[in-house]
Structure 1
Amino acid sequence: MAQLVVTAVLVEGRSKSEVARTYNVSRRWVITLVQRFLAEGEAGLEPRSRRPHTNPARTPQAVEDEIVELRKDLDRDGHDAGAATIAAHLQRRHGPEQVPAVSTIWRILSHRGFVTPQPHKRPKSSFQRFCADAPNERWQLDITHYRLADQTSVEILDSIDDHSRLAASCTCRRVFTAGDVDTAFTATTSHYGDPASLLSDNGAVFTGTPRRGGRVALEVTCSARGIRFDHSRPYHPQTCGKVERFHQTLKKWLDRQPRPATVGQLQKLLDQFRDYYNTVRPHRALDRRTPADAYAARPAAVPTGTPLDTGHYRVRHDRVDRAGVITLRHNSRLHHIGIGRGLAGVRVLALVSDLHVRIIHTDGSLVRELTLDPDRDYQPQTRP
């Protein structure tokens, strides 16, 4: 339109007022376009920015540089470096009055090239969330894997308080057995107390239900203390989403550290991260409070279940093999019980009460009765 206006005035010789009425613009704008064309030619008719040359409300350059430096430091150390986290750290340094809005920090990071554009995500309002109302009301447990410097795979057991996101424990071992999980849980409860309930997946160290019944060591401990023990649906890790998300945060931080060579070195790193995560890192789900602050803000819940007998009772159907032996698993260890070659191929019934075992023939007669020795694999027959 600018070229049409200038042409109408300079070429056709029409008055500026008439041209303004024809193109529905102001007479002042027609005069401006003509002056720009006479001074600069065709370049004078190009659209120009209306942005003011100065802006008193703009964030000071020193504050922008501090935001960028803080972003680099957090990202280098493997910590959360989002706009809201940076705002929380700035509030600790300067107070809330001197900190730009989160949206302003995000725009600064985007302008400096720290934000990668992503496709439109599912809105957060569409998620159905659940959270415990009090500390120790529910703990989430899970095991993840990590590789040492020599590529040896080790396991990390993480325990998260559902309400406060407090990392109750981060423990590593070459391989966790059911007894190791129970030992780590007992050590954690000695510091934080017994939780009212636990939530885990269906791993063999957490439950024996999907594997012909029975109970693992942690289930026995929970029954004895009145702790409710729940498990997620198979192949549905979203149920334990808080501890799964903690795995991601932990591994991101570990990837920025020198790769440990031993389990002991890894445990020192886990202790260092757990201290930072609980007492320094502002958590988005907690209104940027730390998990330690959220954990201490409310009274902790206690177990409400009735403590049950810790005895382990089960019935096992088996067939005596050609060597006259049947097998029985106790405390995640397989034991062989001698019956006698004369009963090879015969079906028997094993009645187990903790370490006391009775082997019964299908006709009801008692074949053998023994007290299982947990330190021995083969349980020989008693010699007269």
Structure 2
Amino acid sequence: MTKARLVITAVVLEGRTPAEVAKTYGVSRSWVYELARHREEGESALEPRSRRPRTSPRATPAEVVALIVELRARLSQQGLDAGPETIVWHLEHHHDVQVSRATVARILHRQGLVTPEPKKKPKSALHRFEASLPNETWQSDFTHYRLTGGTDVEILTWLDDCTRKAIRVAAHPRVTGLIVVEQFRRAVAEAGIPASTLTDNGMVYTTRFSGGRGGRNGFESGLRRLHVIQKNGRANHPTTQGKVERFQQTLKKWLRAQPVQPVAIADLQRLLDHFVEHYNHHRPHRSLPHRSTPAARYDTLPKALPGTTRDAQTHTRIRHDRIDTSGVVTLRIAGRLHHIGIGRTHARTHVILLVADLQVRIVNATTGELLRELTIDPDYQPQK
């Protein structure tokens, strides 16, 4: 502040010109012209001023900020995920509001609704493994839950590895080998036979650590009859079954948030059925492309089959893309780029292309709606 006073004194008392003073003391003319402000405001003019603009035309509207805060509170109260990605999904699908994830994160931070964790390991540091098709692998596990009154029960889950769809979730007084076999059969009746299963090494799933006594259990024998590959995680390494473990955490968080806690196992099962319906069909999953729901992705993709291998001569692939503003999506086949017209009404829509040689199905990545099915012409592909 000493130099500022020196400059002002030189102009006011000595009567020197601002240009001369600026040159003498090595400051800019604009700074010297702050003298006018000093004459109007006095000593306070020498204090640093905020550089914040008077107006912010591109700032998020106040009503959108209020809606974001409301969604955060509502989702958290219901025991559901309330992160920026989920809020962005709800804004787009339920309120027709387009806001970026970064904007939502800044608003939540500014409102004091999140606590930054700079030491937390980033997602890029994790090695994620997942099946490429539905029914390629089902994960299973069971967890303990205490009813109101102190009765302990167990919840058994079958989860599709690729889409995170909850195939079957059931509560039992105690999960036994017979119950695992029964619930697996019911899951198969609902969703088909998976190509493989992934579980821990509990005795209800495998007898691999029983010292060879008793041979295969009922679950292992059933998988063998259906030609289903059985995979088991390493001992004391639960992250191998991380998807079903995470599902159980989400489920328990939701159960704790319910205003009426279950008293009997039948009450718990009704809550489980309600949660599975919401989780599969109405809740966007952060790990899925375009934040789609598990059921939409499961219904969209072709299903893997047990004990079968694809024809080595058939080139199959799954491609995620977005329709451009002219209603066209592009696909490269045999080194040539083909432009496939979908329609301007679907512009900017996220889609999944299911390609088997020249056969192409284009479906909405969020809803699973079939937008177009065609056979590619290698020589010339009309857009319409």
Q: TM-score, normalised by structure 2?
A: 0.75
Q: CA deviation at 1:4?
A: 4.1
The 5 A counterparts of 1:178-257 are: 178-213=177-212, 214-257=215-258
1:128 aligns with 2:111: no
Any idea what SS the aligned residue of 2:210 has?
A: coil
- Alignment match, 1:166: 165
Q: Deviations over 1:148-179 (max 9, x none)?
A: 11122211111110011000111111111111
- The alignment partner of 2:287 has SS state of helix
Task: Classify 1:41/1:302 alpha carbon distance in 2 versus 1 (closer, same or farther; 3 Å).
Answer: same
The amino acid that maps onto 1:42 is E
Equivalent in the alignment of 2:139? 140
Q: Does 1:303 align with 2:302?
A: no
Q: Which amino acid aligns with 2:185?
A: T
> Stretches of 4+ moved more than 6 A in 1?
none
CA 1:221/1:26 → structure 2, altered by over 3 Å: closer, same or farther?
same
Deviations 1:99-150 (CA, angstroms, capped at 9, x unpaired):
1111111212222221122233222222211111110000000111111111
Cα 1:23–1:271 shift into 2, 3 Å: farther
The residue matched to 1:284 in structure 2 has which SS?
Answer: coil
1:191-228 superposed Cα distances (whole Å, 9 cap, x missing partner): 10110000001112111111112222211110111111
Q: CA deviation at 1:62?
A: 1.5
Structure 2 residue aligned with 1:373: none
* TM-superposition CA deviations, 1:258-280 (whole Å, max 9, x none): 22111111111110000000000
Aligned counterparts of 2:105 and 2:69: Cα–Cα separation in 1: 11
Q: Runs of 5+ in structure 1 lacking a partner?
A: 307-384
Q: Does residue 1:294 correspond to 2:293, yes or no?
A: no
- C-alpha contact 1:227 1:303 (8 A) present in aligned 2: yes
In structure 2, relative to structure 1, the CA distance for the partners of 1:3 and 1:260 (3 Å cut) is: farther
Distance in 1 of aligned mates of 2:23 and 2:248: 69
Length, aligned pairs only: 303
Kept in 2, the 8 Å contact 1:228–1:305? The answer is no
Of structures 1 and 2, the larger Rg is shown by 1
In 2: Cα distance, 1:173 partner to 1:92 partner: 36
Q: Give the letter aligned to residue 245 of structure 1.
A: R
| 1:70-109 map, 5 Å | 70-95=71-96, 98-109=97-108
Deviation at 1:20, TM superposition (A): 1.4
Instruction: For 1:138 and 1:164, locate their aligned partners in 2 and report how far apart those are by CA, in whole Å.
Output: 10
CA contact (8 A) 1:136 1:302 kept: yes
Q: Deviations over 1:355-376 (max 9, x none)?
A: xxxxxxxxxxxxxxxxxxxxxx
- In 2, the alpha carbon distance for the partners of 1:140 and 1:22 equals 77
Shift of 1:72: 1.3
Q: Which residue number in structure 1 is paired with residue 42 of structure 2?
A: 41
Counterpart Cα distance in 2 of 1:5 and 1:135: 75
1:227 and 1:305 in contact (8 A); partners too: no
* Partner amino acid, structure 2, of 1:204: M
Alpha carbons of structure 1 residues 122 and 5: separation in structure 2 relative to 1, 3 Å = farther
Secondary structure of residue in 2 paired with 1:170: strand
- Matched residue SS, 2:33: helix
1:55 matched residue in structure 2: 56
1:285 aligns to what SS in structure 2?
Answer: coil
Q: What stretches of structure 2 of length at least 5 have no aligned partner?
A: 310-384
| Percent sequence identity over aligned pairs | 48
